[in-house]
């Protein structure tokens, strides 16, 4: 698996190491995210509670999450090793940015799947799409940092970097804590859905989605490049509507669902 992935990376190196090619792929990601946002106004992404027939054979939830997130962790590592001199020459803050990306996907790959309890199998098609996206995005974000290796010269740049990293870490905390509450909600259950309680779930139905969106907005603020902007927009366009779908699901299923709870943004939407 890793040999085939490394062969793919060698091809990516030639494609993404040029700034123009990287911008093109980032633009495609932006368009992809926006098109998904439009389509998700009329349908739901076919995995999890919205899984349905016609999207391929089911893959175990734990295995699917592990395999589909793995490229986002492995690809940046392999690129950094393959371009070790470039990585060594990075300014310290750029190494921290790659570290932030790896931190998220270390948790998402190796810890999050172990917490899944009774998760519904993931259909093959959305699973393969996720593998493809995570492979490409892992490369795009890494090259984005490698090719924008600039020194911090002004106080405003330092403020932007630090505020972005703090926002990223805050979003990651929200995301992880919300995911833990959701898994505890299912612990010992028969697979029936329950009303999420506690933490930001008192204000929004998609607290876990809110956390991840905040994460990647923070990552963009810290990186301040086109690849990270494309990823932040892609994330918002895909899981923002999913938060609304969950909100609608809960309100239809539970007559006593809190009427003041919003879908994604506390007190607003």
CA 145: distance to chain centroid? Answer: 17
Largest CA-CA distance found in the chain, in angstroms, rounded: 60
Tell me how far apart the alpha carbons of residues 251 and 228 are, in angstroms, rounded to a whole number: 34
State the pLDDT at residue 152.
84
What value does the mean pLDDT take over residues 30-57?
Answer: 96
Note the pLDDT tens digit of each residue in 164-203.
999 999 999 999 999 999 998 875 555 688 999 999 999 9
Strand segments (E) across the chain:
58-59, 122-123
Q: At what angle do helices 19-39 and 124-147 cross, to 10 degrees?
A: 140
* Selection from 54, 71, 191 nearest residue 141 by Cα: 71
Q: Which two tokens stand for residue 247?
A: 């909100």
State the pLDDT at residue 2.
54
DSSP single-letter state for residue 150: -
Note the pLDDT tens digit of each residue in 95-151.
999 999 999 999 999 999 999 987 899 999 999 999 999 999 999 999 999 988 778
Helix or strand holding residue 211 (H, E): helix 207-223
What value does the mean pLDDT take over residues 29-54?
Answer: 96
């Amino acid at each position: 698996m890793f040999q085939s992935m490394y062969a793919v990376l060698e091809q990516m190196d030639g494609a993404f190491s040029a700034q123009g090619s990287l911008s093109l792929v980032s633009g495609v990601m932006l368009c992809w995210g926006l098109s998904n946002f439009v389509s998700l106004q009329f349908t739901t992404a076919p995995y999890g509670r919205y899984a349905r027939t016609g999207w391929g054979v089911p893959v175990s939830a734990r295995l699917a999450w592990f395999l589909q997130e793995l490229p986002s962790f492995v690809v940046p590592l392999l690129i950094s090793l393959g371009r070790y001199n470039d990585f060594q020459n990075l300014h310290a803050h750029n190494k921290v940015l790659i570290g932030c990306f790896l931190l998220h996907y270390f948790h998402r790959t190796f810890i999050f799947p172990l917490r899944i309890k009774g998760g519904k199998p993931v259909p093959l098609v959305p699973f393969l799409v996720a593998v493809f996206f995570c492979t490409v995005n892992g490369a795009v974000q890494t090259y984005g940092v490698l090719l924008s290796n600039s020194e911090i010269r002004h106080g405003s740049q330092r403020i932007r970097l630090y505020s972005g990293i703090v926002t990223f870490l805050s979003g990651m905390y929200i995301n992880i804590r919300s995911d833990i509450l959701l898994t505890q909600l299912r612990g010992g259950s028969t697979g029936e859905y329950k009303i999420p309680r506690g933490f930001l779930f008192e204000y929004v139905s998609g607290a876990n989605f809110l956390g991840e969106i905040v994460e990647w907005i923070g990552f963009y603020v810290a990186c301040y490049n086109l690849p990270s902007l494309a990823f932040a927009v892609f994330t918002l366009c895909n899981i923002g509507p999913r938060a609304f779908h969950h909100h609608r699901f809960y309100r239809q299923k539970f007559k006593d669902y809190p009427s003041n709870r919003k879908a994604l943004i506390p007190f607003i939407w």
